[in-house]
Structure 1
């Protein structure tokens, strides 16, 4: 299965390195020397990691297929994907691949069926579970332990601690306007 692990940024220097916009929790594993990545764009092409290093908080990658700055610039904005086996798991037992979460049933801590996970949305500040509620509406739930205290891949569910307005935005408690607020 191909999974997007990054997007190629601008060239760095004259020897073909590029800045990588990382989309994986395992960059040292996915961008290891010799790793073969596929571009997401059609026609797809293979890129082999010659080397990678961290520089000023950003990952720089040199691909065999980009020997100089000009070739590196031609890769800009391409998304790259890694082949990940169906049985492969993240190294940290508290982390999950998106594909493992999508399709899981959602239950509340009160035992009610609350829907199904249909996507994982990655934002700079946190990840969100997109949940299709019974009836077809979708809601976003922050993927934090306080709101998602349990994920059971073996049993096929995600437990959500329902809060007013979390799973049913229409049922949110009204917050009175502050004095002087319009």
Structure 2
């Protein structure tokens, strides 16, 4: 699958098969994240946490429910969850931009590997508000949770491709 196909195929997945991501697929996803654009090339300002333990994923879901007020599973039952954390002293704006670029690379790589993802911003807020959960996830001291996403194989195959047309208004000056 080439990049254009991956972009057209990538969509938010909100139901996952019980199967864990293959190690080879997860490696491709993580390497794609590590190749993501980061301001001034300061990759040391980010940290990636991969969560595959069902109990910890359930705790992240519960923490996210506290933020959203929803009783539904806000993570959609994934076999894997990936969190991006950033050094707390780095400007929040650049941390979010860096995390978004890294996460988009991982989402595209997941699509290319036949997996899916859905970005859940509120999950990082839930983790950040639960000091014990943050510690149990091994987030390094001095880092703040900024962006998380669920990853896994879709429960149902969806071969629908996105329209690659101009869907956002554009002006040229």
TM-score calculated relative to the size of structure 1: 0.23
In terms of fraction of residues, the more strand-rich structure is 1
Structure number with greater Rg is 1
